A and B are shown apart, each in its own frame.
Chain A
Amino acid sequence: MKIPSSNGKSGSLLSRAALAFPIAFYSLISLILIVLTFVSALKSDADFYANPIGLPSRWIFANFEKAWVNANFSLYFKNSIIITALSLVFILIVSSMAAYAIARFKYKLGGMAYIYFMLGFMFPLQLYVLPMFLLERSLGLLNSYAGLIVTYTATAQSFSIFLMVGFFRTLPVELEEAGRLDGASDFKIFRSVMMPLSAPILTTVAILNLVGIWNDFFLPLVFIQSNELRTVPLGLISFYGQYNSNYPMLFAALAISIVPIAVAYMLSAKTFVKGMVSGAIK
């Protein structure tokens, strides 16, 4: 869409500058806050307290090392990676299969299953987290990777199925029919025809859940008790409780929690923005 640009009158130029200034200022402040998180982590304690805002007089990595080793962030990081990665794998497999059944097999039951999954949108997590906790306690799933992974797989279904059904319905049926004429099984068609075509929607679903699970605080808070199984956000809270005035080390821990997402974001900012925004309006 073309928007009429400023017509060159001085008043208009002025108002364009006025339009740009506040957003530029806000972005600058935001950027400074993000950069300061990393820069503060590179200062020695003495340096930091003498000069909390400016650049380090000497750049040191000791805080990262301390956070990583002494404050257990290597462990929390590993836990977060295992839980996030396995949950993503299960979410993608389970929800894409269900979405394929709903979108591509014309059974009435499929439509009913779709409505059944969409009911999940209505209910906030807080409504069922307590009975879920009790259920998982009775199944021995509390305080384990498996408990969190199965929970994330379940909570992600409604939205992931919603996005994928929408996408599958836009794909032409001819490719599948060609596959079927060649005698390929439904599983084969699903795996070698549908999945490759579905890369964009799989990416969107993966990003949404990646960010959601990596950053989740509430479920690990409720389900995880032992220190060995803490995820990064949970680790940050206990770290702050334990070393609450060791700021450079805290900032190193914060930086560690941001880095994976920041790297992924820099690789494909557009995909992230699109994915997260479609996630907001579920």
Chain B
Amino acid sequence: MKSGMKAQNRRSFRTFLLFLLPAVLVYSMIIVYPMLSSFYYSLTEWSGLGKARFIGMNNYVRLFTDPNIYPVFWRALGHNFYIFALTLIIQTPLALYFAYALDRKVRGHAIYRNVIFFPVLISTVTVAFMSLIVFEPNIGLLNNLLDKVGLEDWVQPWLGMENLILLILVLIMIWKSIGVNMMLYLANLQSIPGEVLEAAMMDGATEFQKFRKMIFPLLAPSFTINVVLTFIGSIGTFDIVYAIAGENGQPNFSADVLGTFYYRTAFTQTLGLQSSDMGLATAIALVMFFIILVVSVIQLKLLQKRELEY
């Protein structure tokens, strides 16, 4: 404790509490209390009206054994992991390349940075509808272009295809968010000491070789952050699916993810359930949280081991 403060200790402590109070109150009431009660709700049967009935672990048992529920859960979880894998595979090389090109200060780099970053600031719902410019079957650029170059056979109702919908959603989300990944890699690149980078540059023959052999290994720290961020984002996917594929992840649940499954269970009455099923919904949310926690920790452990090697 600072000596100068001792004299007015008493008054000071009251002020301290007064400063702290509003944040503690609003945070405890709106976040912490609901947070804690969600553990309780997950152990009850409740439609949201009347009284909740305590049923122990039954919601978790239903989630993994009820034939009306577990196939939906596993399908949705599979889609979330598919989104994660696709995003990582497409976004990583692209973001790395953008960051590298910006770091090398290619002509026009400031413009590219601003243009690529801009969609980060647009809402997912707006981006979802902007993507109609490309994917809408009649007015979209994609079909019009295919038509013009004589590939009429390839023309498709892109957003209505079960096997392609997740890929398209992933592409849209990458377009929206790659600016952040790019900037994270760029910050990492710029933090590498000049001499290290210069030494790396001397060796390689082509830009690509220099990059793969010398620079990518130095980027392990930002790679770790990007993998974990992408994972958390992929498991939490909701807005883009809801905006384009609706709350059922149409067509035919091919875009259904944990977020939409959760939303339907909590707030609507599809899925053959009688009504909103608050207990099951909180159980789903807790399982999601558990998956995020476990997988993120494993990723951090594995990837940080790699960081230390260099």
Contact = CB atoms under 8 A, between A and B. Distances in A.
Given A126-B288, A247-B132, A254-B130, A3 B103 contact: yes
A254 B132 CA distance: 12
Contacts of B184: 277, 280-281
B139 A106 contact: no
Interface string B113-142: 111111111111110011011101001110
A177 interface: yes
B289 A123 contact: yes
B16 interface: yes
A247 B126 contact: no
B46 to A, nearest CB: 9
Contact of B23 (A22, A161, A173): A161
Contacts of A126: 236, 238, 259, 262, 285, 288-289
Interface string A201-223: 00000000001001111100110
Contacts of A37: 130, 133
Given A48-B139, A97-B22, A105 B27 contact: no
B16 A3 contact: no
B22 A53 contact: no
A27 B33 CA distance: 46
Interface string B90-107: 000010011011111111
Contact of B197 (A1, A30, A120, A122): A1
A281 B224 CA distance: 11
B125 A100 contact: no
Contacts of A185: 15
A237 B22 contact: no
Contacts of B5: 105-106
A57 interface: no
Interface residues of A, number: 99
Contacts of A101: 16-17, 19-20
B13 A107 contact: yes
B23 A131 contact: no
B116 A26 contact: yes
B16 A277 contact: no
Nearest to A147: B30
Interface string A98-111: 10111001110110
Interface in B191-215: 192-194, 197-198, 201, 206-207
A110 B117 CA distance: 37
B92 to A, nearest CB: 15
A135 B33 contact: yes
Given A1-B194, A110-B16, A281-B229, A23 B125 contact: no
Contacts of B119: 30, 34
Interface in A64-113: 93-95, 97-98, 100-102, 105-107, 109-110, 113
7 contacts: A4-B201, A20-B108, A105-B16, A127-B288, A130-B34, A131-B34, A237-B243
Interface of A: 1-4, 15-16, 18-20, 22-24, 26-27, 30-31, 33-34, 36-37, 40, 48-49, 52-53, 93-95, 97-98, 100-102, 105-107, 109-110, 113, 116-117, 119-120, 122-124, 126-135, 150-151, 153-155, 157-158, 161, 173, 177, 180, 185-187, 190, 211, 214-218, 221-222, 232-233, 236-237, 240, 247, 250, 254, 257-258, 261-262, 265, 269, 272-273, 276-277, 280-281
Given A19-B101, A19-B106, 8 more contacts: A23-B106, A101-B16, A101-B19, A105-B15, A150-B26, A173-B2, A250-B132, A257-B125
